[in-house]
Amino acid sequence: MQKFNELIAELKKLTANMYQKDFLLTWEKSEEELRQIVGVAEALRELRDNNISTKVFDSGLAISLFRDNSTRTRFSYTSAANLLGLAVQDLDEGKSQISHGETVRETANMISFMSEMIGIRDDMYLGAGNKYMKEVGEALEDGFAQKVLPQRPGVVNLQCDIDHPSQSLADLTYLKEKFGSLENLKGKKIAMTWAYSPSYGKPLSVPQGIIGLMTRFGMDVHLAHPEGYDLIPEVMDIAKENAKKSDGKFTVSNSMEEAFKDADIIYPKSWAPYWVMEKRTELLKNNDHEGLKNLEQQALTQNKEHMNWETNDQKLALTKDGEALYMHPLPADISGLSCENGEVTNKIFDKYRIDTYKEAGWKPYIIASMMFTNKFENPAEVLEELQKRGEKRKMF
């Protein structure tokens, strides 16, 4: 347990305090708070790997609300809740009174009588996902203040229209593991680039999450995309300011090759043009199915103009020693496997396939850490008590 003890020692040095605070956007948190999330995630993993139970709840619910399809994040949230001893209840809006006009204020309180956490994925509507999460939080504050709720459940952003914090923090933890420390990431070049996809409507939150977080740790972040595939301007400004404060770099170009040149890490990922997401939000709200079909064809036609934005041998050769670490939140559009032409060739994806699985493997621990730090004022002390208790996770 040497690594565990080292992690606890580092956590005790931090002045971070996320007790009873929601986790919505990484750039709303201090660097110490982000370090705490990473450190607690690593400590929880150490305990589980050493067959020590991390159950800190005897009962209680973790509510999940997914307004978009999900595999990794959905199962990561369930795994995280189970790791801490919480049962998961999915809120299916189609089977609830929400479909009959129930307000956010009422729903938030009615699901929270014995709930500890609420995890929300709401990335479909540009300008609405983060706003909705804040509205849920305000309703919970009111319910707790009015003594309707015995406790105020924490809210965790499982992906919104602006950020995907569980993904970007899992990526950061994975990079820490790969490069040895967060300090070792300083100066490392990461290419966050658009990549071709034969589908449309992919959220902006992954690239925004990466540029918003990696610039916090002094990395050389190069964002590249074709003209017309811009991200939310406010997030771009945040990335620029972060880079200045951390002595890092933030570069924007319209060249995948330029971004890949001498990169230590490449992160080629498709996303929809900003204007497409704005129009899509309007059409979804109006339930305009015909308009959505027409928009999809427009977007796919625009995508096809940039089919050369694919990670292949020639582009990988441009990276540092031709061996940059390939990252992806999954599922990737794999040329010759899952689609005819996509984000990455089958050869390169297969080379890094296990790495991407390991990258994804940090997400349950990051989400568990978000829950843990919300519920315990002194997470390092609670982790120490779990280690001292030494209750076996597997009995035999």
| Res 263: pLDDT | 98
Domain-located, residue 372: yes
CB 250 within 8 A of CB 243: yes
The residues with which 325 forms a beta bridge, in sequence order, are 265
Write the pLDDT tens digit of every residue in 155-208.
999 999 999 999 999 999 999 999 999 999 999 999 999 999 999 879 999 999
Q: Is residue 396 situated within a structural domain?
A: no
Confidence of residue 95 (pLDDT cuts 50, 70, 90): low
Position 119 pLDDT exceeds 90: yes
Do residues 155 and 234 share a domain? no
Strand order through the sheet with 87-90: 87-90, 61-66, 115-122, 154-160
Of 102, 236, 73, residue with least CA distance to 90: 73
* Average pLDDT of the residues of the chain: 95
Bridge partner residues of 120 (DSSP) = 65, 157
Note the pLDDT tens digit of each residue in 7-60. 999 999 999 999 999 999 999 999 999 999 999 999 999 999 999 999 999 999
CA distance 217 to 246: 6
Residue 235 and residue 186 share a domain = yes
Residue 122 is predicted with a pLDDT of 93
Residue 97 is predicted with a pLDDT of 58
* Domain presence at residue 19: yes
Please tell me the predicted confidence (pLDDT) of residue 99: 52
Predicted TM-score (pTM) of the model is 0.96
> Does the pLDDT of residue 93 top 90, yes or no?
no
305 and 278 in a common domain: yes
Domain shared by 32 and 129, yes or no: yes
Non-local (6+) Cβ contacts of 230 within 8 A are 236, 273, 274
144 with 280, same domain: the answer is no
- pLDDT on residue 96: 58
What's the first-to-final CA gap in the chain, in angstroms?
Answer: 20
75 pLDDT band, cuts 50/70/90, is: very high
* Residue 256: domain span: 167-360
pLDDT computed for residue 100 by the predictor: 52
CA–CA distance, 54 with 44 (Å, rounded to integer)? 7
The answer to whether residue 113 sits within a structural domain is: yes
373 with 356, same domain: the answer is no
Residue 395 lies in a domain: no
Q: What is the mean pLDDT of residues 325-345?
A: 97
Kindly state whether residues 82 and 228 are assigned to the same domain. Answer: no
> What pLDDT is attached to residue 188?
98
**Which pLDDT score is estimated for 94?**
67
Note the pLDDT tens digit of each residue in 245-292: 999 999 999 999 999 999 999 999 999 988 888 898 899 888 999 999
Q: Same domain, yes or no, for 227 and 305?
A: yes
In a domain, 245, yes or no: yes
pLDDT the model gives residue 69: 82
pLDDT tens-place string over residues 292-322: 999 999 999 999 999 999 999 999 999 999 9
| pLDDT > 80? residue 2 | yes
pLDDT band at 233 (very low <50, low <70, confident <90, very high): very high
Q: Is 73 found in the same domain as 187? A: no
The rounded distance, in Å, linking the Cα atoms of 296 and 290 is 10
Please tell me whether residues 20 and 151 are part of one structural domain: yes
The reply to whether 309 and 267 lie within a common domain is yes
- Across 199-220, average pLDDT: 95
Q: Is residue 394 domain-resident?
A: no
- Tell me what pLDDT residue 16 has: 95
What single-letter DSSP state applies at residue 108?
H
Beta carbons of 34 and 379 less than 8 angstroms apart: no
Residue 156 — φ and ψ, nearest 5°? -120, 130
| Residues 140-145, mean pLDDT to the nearest whole number | 96
Is the same domain home to 355 and 370? no
Residue 139 has pLDDT above 90, yes or no: yes
pLDDT for res 117: 98
Structure tokens at 52: 């020590």
Q: Does residue 219 lie within any of the structural domains?
A: yes
**CA 386 from centre of chain:** 27
Q: Which residues pair with 65 in a beta bridge?
A: 120
Q: How confident is the model at residue 124 (pLDDT cuts 50, 70, 90)?
A: confident
- Average pLDDT over every residue of 227-245: 96
| CATH, residue 124 | 3.40.50.1370
What's the CA gap between 262 and 190, in Å, rounded? 9
Number of folded domains that form the chain: 2
Where does the pLDDT of residue 101 fall: very low under 50, low under 70, confident under 90, or very high at 90 and above? low
Closest by alpha carbon to 296, among 160, 159, 196, 202? 202
**Is there a contact between 168 and 212 (Cβ–Cβ < 8 Å)?**
yes
* CB-CB neighbours of 105 under 10 Å: 15
